[in-house]
Amino acid sequence: MKKFNLVTLATKNIRRKKFRTGILVFSISLIVSVLVFGLSFIINVSSGIERASARLGADLIVVPVGARSYAEEVLLESKSKSFYMNKNIINRVKKIEGVDVITFHTYLTTIQGVCCDVPEATVVAFNQESDFIIMPWLEKAIGRKLEKNEAIVGHESFLNIGLGLMDAMLFGTRFKIMGALDKTGTGLDNAIFTSDENVEEILQKGRSQLKPDEISIIFVKVKEGYDPYIVGRIIEGDIIEADVVTRSDIGKDITGALGDINMIFSITVFMASILSVLLAWAIFSATVNERLREVGVMLALGAKESHVAKLFFIEVFFIGLMGSVCGVVFGTALSLLLAKSFTILKNLPGGLNAVDRAVIGAAGFVIGTGICILGAFSPVQRIKKLEPLAVIKGELA
Amino acid sequence: MHIVLSDVTKSYFIGKDRFDAVRNVSLEIDSREFISIVGHSGSGKTTLLSIIGGIARPTSGTVLYEGKDIYSLDKDRLSEYRCEKTGFIFQFASLLPNLTSEENVLLPVLFKTGNRAIAAAEKKAAELLHMAGVGDKLNAYPSQLSGGQQRRVAIARAFINDPEVVLADEPTGDLDEATEAEIMRFFKRMNEEAGTTFIMVTHNSGLARDTGRQLKMDNGSISVVQGI
């Protein structure tokens, strides 16, 4: 004979009412898939921002007044934006107490057919002597500095634009593309990098909006023991043409909006969960009422209250498990399929790693199974306490 | 084994009206006895059997099993009494519909010892089903059995844990005369050879006469006692 225990008995019971079980599994899987999809979206965005800002390696970012959001769009969302401030700000920042090292970038936007032979992208002119943002990746990619009229492309540019081994015309100058950087996990993965030695020639050819002595952004590392927030406030106070973003504030607008979305999403999931609990309660109340006589017989044959409770909760657990597994699979598939449909996710670097997915899956599993157990709790508690003869006769209090 | 019922009453309330299903019943049952209980419908036979079987708590009075009031036991100990000391044969179809005959018979073993002893009890279950005349229906589900066959499976189930007392509520109600006689011979044999005590509710006065002691119930009370 096959195995015979409470688990086999429970699985046989589940199979008895396929349609009813199906409805409950479906409703659990729906709520879990919404939860998994929503969590995936929110965690994906917030961890992407966190990861990108951490990988930049700067404590502070100094940008022209009013260009804070443009800078975030370039650094986090890979968007092409041009914003400029005077180069003399570099020296003024250097003099601020607490500033340790600085470097700067100049961002140029390509327009295919007008100045360049590549689609719209950001060209980053960086200072190879002082740079601590790009240089570590460059060292890894080609093991040396870029020469004049040489460029290297970001990981995503290499994949998306197809740049990598051919030459490219940028702002009227032909650049030799030396290869591609590894994935940095920042918005700069979509950029094309070249030394700031080339800026003068670009200016001379007049194919860019850039004016002489302009830069886009200054990255600052503060000395040990100094609070980046306070140093940033001093810079803003001393240099009125500049705005300062601390590392922890990068993407704050996005995460703020995300918080609101998160709240709406949480309320929706909470209300849907209550509905699912009520559905589970109604279904298990009906199931328990239908099986009153069976439970009475089991009690009369010597089943303990714990046997009855175990039997029902195993059924509940399996239904919750089936719903949760379906929900996690469906929600994950949905989040992967639709990931590129959301502008913010399309441009934001990174993505969910296995641990993130496991945590989200576990949350979906706990919620899905919890809904079932919560819904079944009251009907099961009611029946297990009844006198066997009363249950057999259906004389429920 | 000795069962003593003292002044047992079981009352139900229908609205504010009280109805005594069993009224002030006192009774002593000795080991190896074969007792039948007869009476009209609603006279309290099934309720009295259920009280002895530990499945209906009396409103007042005590039921002593080997000197201990079974209703003073905690819930788990009372379940163990039902599982290990008694075997109950219900008046109605009492098989679990999603279990095979064999699994239905093994159900009390699952409750007694968990799944550890199931494999060891399989042979016994098959023997009991064979003795009850449904040995070829081991893997049949209740829906594939006639009412009489279902009753036989329920009878086999009552004996799986070697109970000291079998409480049978109209055990041969669905059976033809020949099968009824066969089942009664099986009961007698178990009573005489294994020493199992039988308390059997029946409408059949012929069957009742064939038992050691006949109790007649009327309006919840034992009105007539015949036999030893």
Structure token pair of residue B202:
């029946």
Q: Give the pLDDT of residue B106.
A: 94
CB-nearest to A297 from B90, B114, B161 is B90
Residue A93 in domain = yes
CB-nearest to B75 from A6, A293, A305 is A305
Place of tokens 């209090």: A397
Whether residues A244 and A276 fall in one domain: no
Q: Do A300 and B88 touch (CB under 8 A)?
A: yes
Residue A397 in domain = no
Of residues B160 and A80, more confidently modeled: B160
Q: Give the pLDDT of residue B183.
A: 87
Distance CA A37, CA A221 (A): 37
Alpha helices per DSSP H over chain A? 6-16, 18-56, 68-75, 89-94, 135-142, 155-160, 199-205, 228-238, 252-290, 292-300, 305-338, 343-347, 354-384, 388-393
- Rounded to a whole number of angstroms, the distance from the CA of A15 to the nearest CA of chain B is 9
Q: Give the pLDDT of residue A5.
A: 86
Distance CA A80, CA A74 (A): 6
Whether residues A23 and A104 fall in one domain: no
- β-pair partners for B107: none
Whether residues A182 and A83 fall in one domain: yes
CB-nearest to B82 from A12, A300, A306 is A300
Summarised one tens digit per residue, pLDDT across range A248-289 is 777 666 666 667 777 787 788 788 888 888 888 888 888 888
Q: Do B79 and A299 touch (CB under 8 A)?
A: yes
Q: Do A6 and B88 touch (CB under 8 A)?
A: no
Q: Give the pLDDT of residue B127.
A: 92
Whether residues A151 and A285 fall in one domain: no
Whether residues A223 and A365 fall in one domain: no
State ipTM. 0.92
Summarised one tens digit per residue, pLDDT across range B122-147 is 999 999 999 888 989 999 999 999 88
Residue A224 in domain = yes
pLDDT above 80 (res A189): no
- Rounded to a whole number of angstroms, the distance from the CA of B98 to the nearest CA of chain A is 6
Whether residues A149 and A188 fall in one domain: yes
A396 reaches B (C-beta below 8 A): no
pLDDT above 80 (res A342): no
B153: confidence class by pLDDT, cuts 50, 70, 90: very high
Nearest C-alpha in A relative to B139: A1
DSSP B142: G
Q: Do B56 and A13 touch (CB under 8 A)?
A: no
Residue A1 in domain = no
Interface of A with B in 276-295 (CB under 8 A): 293-294
CB atoms within 10 A of CB A358: 11
Which residue range forms the structural domain that includes residue A176? Answer: 57-249
Chain A with chain B: Cβ pairs closer than 8 A: 87
- β-pair partners for B197: B165
pLDDT above 70 (res A54): no
Q: What are phi and psi of A257, to 5 degrees?
A: -65, -35
Q: Lowest mean pLDDT: which of A154-158, A231-235, B147-151?
A: A154-158
Amino acid at A324: S
Q: Give the pLDDT of residue A204.
A: 77
Evaluate the CA torsion angle A111, A114, A119, A125 in order and state its sign: negative
Residue A159 in domain = yes
Q: Give the pLDDT of residue A185.
A: 64
Whether residues A73 and A124 fall in one domain: yes
Q: Give the pLDDT of residue A357.
A: 85
**Last residue of some domain: A228, A249, A270?**
A249
Whether residues A186 and A97 fall in one domain: yes
- Mean pLDDT, chain B, whole residue set: 90
**Last residue of some domain: A200, A229, A249?**
A249
- Mean pLDDT, chain A, whole residue set: 82
With CA atoms as reference, report the closest residue to A371 among A282, A264, A261, A267: A282
DSSP B215: E
Whether residues A189 and A101 fall in one domain: yes
DSSP B192: I
Of residues A166 and A366, more confidently modeled: A366
pLDDT above 90 (res B68): yes
pLDDT above 90 (res A81): no
Question: A374 Cβ partners below 8 Å, 6+ apart?
Answer: A277, A280
Whether residues A102 and A221 fall in one domain: yes
A1 reaches B (C-beta below 8 A): yes
Distance CA A187, CA A49 (A): 10
All residues of chain B having their beta carbon less than 8 Å from the beta carbon of residue A390 are 56
**Last residue of some domain: A234, A249, A264?**
A249
pLDDT above 60 (res A95): yes
User: Residue B30 is inside which H or E element, if any?
Assistant: strand B17-30
Whether residues A74 and A213 fall in one domain: yes
Q: Give the pLDDT of residue B227.
A: 65
Question: What percentage of residues in chain B have a pLDDT greater than 70?
Answer: 98
- Rounded to a whole number of angstroms, the distance from the CA of B14 to the nearest CA of chain A is 11
Question: What percentage of residues in chain A have a pLDDT greater than 90?
Answer: 13
All residues of chain B having their beta carbon less than 8 Å from the beta carbon of residue A5 are 110, 114-115, 118
B223: confidence class by pLDDT, cuts 50, 70, 90: confident
All residues of chain B having their beta carbon less than 8 Å from the beta carbon of residue A300 are 53, 55, 82, 88, 90
Residue A272 in domain = yes
Residue A217 in domain = yes
Number of folded domains that form chain A: 2
Q: Do A303 and B88 touch (CB under 8 A)?
A: no
B118: confidence class by pLDDT, cuts 50, 70, 90: confident
SS3 for B43-101, per residue?
Answer: CCHHHHHHHHCCCCCCCEEEEEECCEEHHHCCHHHHHHHHHHHEEEECCCCCCCCCCCH
Whether residues A244 and A275 fall in one domain: no
Residue A184 in domain = yes
Question: A259 Cβ partners below 8 Å, 6+ apart?
Answer: none
Interface test with A, best of B12, B50, B101, B113 (most A CBs within 10 A): B50
